[in-house]
Structure 1
Amino acid sequence: MPLNRVASALALALALAACSAPDAPEITSSQDTASPSSDTPTGPPVPGSEWDRTAPADAGFDPDALARLDRRFGSQRTNCFAVVRDGELVHFTTFDGEAPDAMGPAFSVTKSFTSVLVGIAADQGLLDLDDRAARYIPAWRDTPAGAVTIRDLLANVSGRHWDVETDYQEMALQARDKTAFAVGLSQDAAPGTVWHYNNAAIQTLEAVLSAATGEEPAEYARQHLLRPLQMSRTYWGTDRAGNTTTYAGVNASCLDLARFGLMMMRDGAWGDQQIVSADYVEEATGGSSSDLNAAYGLLWWVNRKGTVLGALPATGAEEPGTGGATRPAARRLAPQAPRDAFWALGLGKQIVAVIPSEGIVAVRMGTTPDDPDALSPDDFTSAVLDAQR
């Protein structure tokens, strides 16, 4: 099947799955799981069930510049656009009748959720990033895959089999049991020797997390991530065999993704709760996870200089920041953005941009713009930063 047909089929299948997903389970607070309200004195402010809002001018933004961004992004098939600064909602717009709490497919933003779950499990002593994955995947023991570590999977340097048809058609579209399919692929290269944006390899983290925690990752996330952050408009889907899809499958509202980004900007803290350790956040987002791709952390995109490789997007097109080409050395994913910026990115230009040095989280959800160069990580992030006074 040609790549463009694979891409179109994949996008349609994932979108239909998102549309048919049940509403996110109601997430209610309890004494030991509720996120603190914004007036909690024991940590920087975070939203309770609702966001505290601040006027754009009071947060250092030009309201007219944000209005221009609304017009620009609205013309690029955007469903929602949010800007948060210092834990308060500065700007939020929905387009074309989209409900403010509508959930949409986050696609590969899911990978960054998976990264955080691995970090939480490591914090709890249930696994170690340098464990051999075969400890949790018995089928890999005494095989070439036995050398693959959890860190290799998170860094996309596992050496597991990858080609477009296998990854985007056979695994993502056709396989009923995506985990079994991914586990059963061959080991093509030694870990650490090649970088591929490998959806199937990332799906094997479902097996790792399930074995380490004793729970499906979606339920583990509900307990340890979604509920504490009061992400009541987030649903994590499964394949037809009931496996959490760890490479894609999160459906969320724009403001729930902003909560996720804010938690990461706060070094894993949510008010007075430590959701995931600051050490793990630093490992995942603080630098490149391998010399093979300067732009990749641990299932998060980062802004370090070097050879920049991108995801082969399901559109089959070269997309700045998430295209398939090797970029020149000594380049950053987003040259106009600060060095400490990092991103969760998904098909169709789903973007969670986190800029710690500016105290800003910005989110865009929608469908793929007509202009393939629009809304790259650099374009989106610099546009938000330029809207400051």
Structure 2
Amino acid sequence: MRSRVVTAVALLGLAGCAATTTGGVGPIESGGLPTATPIDLGFDAETLDRLADDAAAFGSTCFLVSRQGKVVFARYWNGGGPESPQEVYSVTKSVTSTLVGLAQADGDLSIDDAASTYIDSWRGTSSEPVTVRQLLSGVSGRFWSEESDYSELIETSDRTAYAVALDQQEEPGTVWVYNNAAVQTLDAVLRSATGTDPAGFAEERLFGPLGMEHTRLTEDDSGHSTNVFFGMQSTCPDLARFGTLFAQDGRWDGRQLVPGAWVREATGRPSQPLNVSYGLLWWLNTDGPDQLAPKARPELFAAQGLGGQVVLVDPRSDTVVVRLGGGEDQGAEGYQIADATRVVTEAMVAPYTG
């Protein structure tokens, strides 16, 4: 097998806002989540301030740290706020992965099913054997080009129809590609399997129970497709809720919202051997020469989107770091998962209390 890792390039810019800074002094703007002082949950407050200043230099709109479900630090800039949703780009993918996990738990599908079970037009074609797992793992072999993924897919009115109609480019399981169109076909899979649109499914099973009041999946211009590779609107506190769900093995407020087995399947190990930094639409800090954050522990994982949107989860310490900002692609010079891990490696003075 051969590996081809295709990294994301620019999608769409997100316009900046006039700078206003809150947080750091006085009550924490936690978006309704419980709060605690940094020192009470094992953080050095001065280091958190310094890391927030570093995040601000990247054009951030918010920077939030929570532990054990309590917000210990939150700052906002550039029009950001606890109730001000913004585009979070490919962070959306990790939510889509979770919806697939919920559908599997309901018995509506298995990720080892051929996706053609749910996409009729793939039957009798070279895409017929592609599995749902391979769509989640980046090894579907579905057609990819920069023009297709970052221009035509964005501009078309019906993104799911466009994505489903693309050809099979490689044999499934032989090439890893960061393929937005392949992920978008999961809209068709979820609709067929669950009998509802992913936006409604997400609200009923995820956003509503978590109290993510300022989060929604969006539709494309056709009104027939839910954007599942990007397009989610959310806030730092809402994404802290989502991250805490995964930090706590799928539990929230005493309820098992997502099976713990799914959390471990999606984030606990590489989903395939071609890119060990990738789970099921989650980024993993797996040991190796290309480790995302070499100074941090390998069990950390993250949702990540264009422009340095990051939801970092450290399940061992039950810590979540959320950073959001503009959608400009700053490449290697922009905010990275490794920057978020500094909360754990530098600011945490009592790492593992449980």
TM over 0.5: yes
1-structure distance, mates of 2:157, 2:290: 40
Q: In the alignment, which residue of structure 2 is the partner of 1:379? A: 339
Q: In the alignment, which residue of structure 2 is the partner of 1:214? A: 195
Residue 64 (structure 1) aligned to one of 46, 52, 59:
46
How far did 1:248 drift?
0.4
Unaligned runs of 5+ in 2: 1-7, 18-29, 350-354
How far did 1:376 drift?
1.5
Amino acid at match of 1:70: A
Residue 179 (structure 1) aligned to one of 160, 165, 168:
160
* 1:133-171 alpha-carbon deviations (Å, 9 max, x no partner): 000000000111001000000001000000100111011
Q: In the alignment, which residue of structure 2 is the partner of 1:120? A: 102
Q: In the alignment, which residue of structure 2 is the partner of 1:335? A: 294
Q: In the alignment, which residue of structure 2 is the partner of 1:11? A: 12
2-structure distance, mates of 1:370, 1:121: 35
Which residues of 2 match residues 98-109 of structure 1 at below 5 A? 98-109=80-91
Q: In the alignment, which residue of structure 1 is the partner of 2:27? A: none
Amino acid at match of 1:116: T
| Secondary structure class of the residue paired with 1:344 | strand
How far did 1:271 drift?
2.1
Unaligned runs of 5+ in 1: 1-5, 20-47, 307-329
8 Å Cα contact 1:49-1:230 kept in structure 2: no
TM-score by length of 2: 0.88
Q: In the alignment, which residue of structure 2 is the partner of 1:313? A: none
* 1:16-46 alpha-carbon deviations (Å, 9 max, x no partner): 8xx9xxxxxxxxxxxxxxxxxxxxxxxxxxx
- Count of equivalent residues: 327
How far did 1:98 drift?
2.7
Which residues of 2 match residues 1-389 of structure 1 at below 5 A? 10-12=11-13, 15=14, 50-172=32-154, 174-242=155-223, 243-306=225-288, 330-367=289-326, 368=328, 372-389=332-349
1-structure distance, mates of 2:31, 2:303: 23
1-structure distance, mates of 2:65, 2:105: 30
Q: Cα gap change, 1:177/1:370 in structure 2, threshold over 3 Å: closer, same or farther?
A: closer
Q: Cα gap change, 1:150/1:97 in structure 2, threshold over 3 Å: closer, same or farther?
A: closer
1-structure distance, mates of 2:81, 2:181: 33
8 Å Cα contact 1:343-1:353 kept in structure 2: yes
Between 109-118 and 334-343, the greater mean CA deviation after superposition:
334-343
8 Å Cα contact 1:206-1:246 kept in structure 2: yes
How far did 1:70 drift?
2.1
How far did 1:240 drift?
1.1
Amino acid at match of 2:341: T
8 Å Cα contact 1:120-1:276 kept in structure 2: yes
RMSD: 1.9
2-structure distance, mates of 1:277, 1:192: 26
8 Å Cα contact 1:79-1:94 kept in structure 2: yes
Q: In the alignment, which residue of structure 1 is the partner of 2:5? A: none
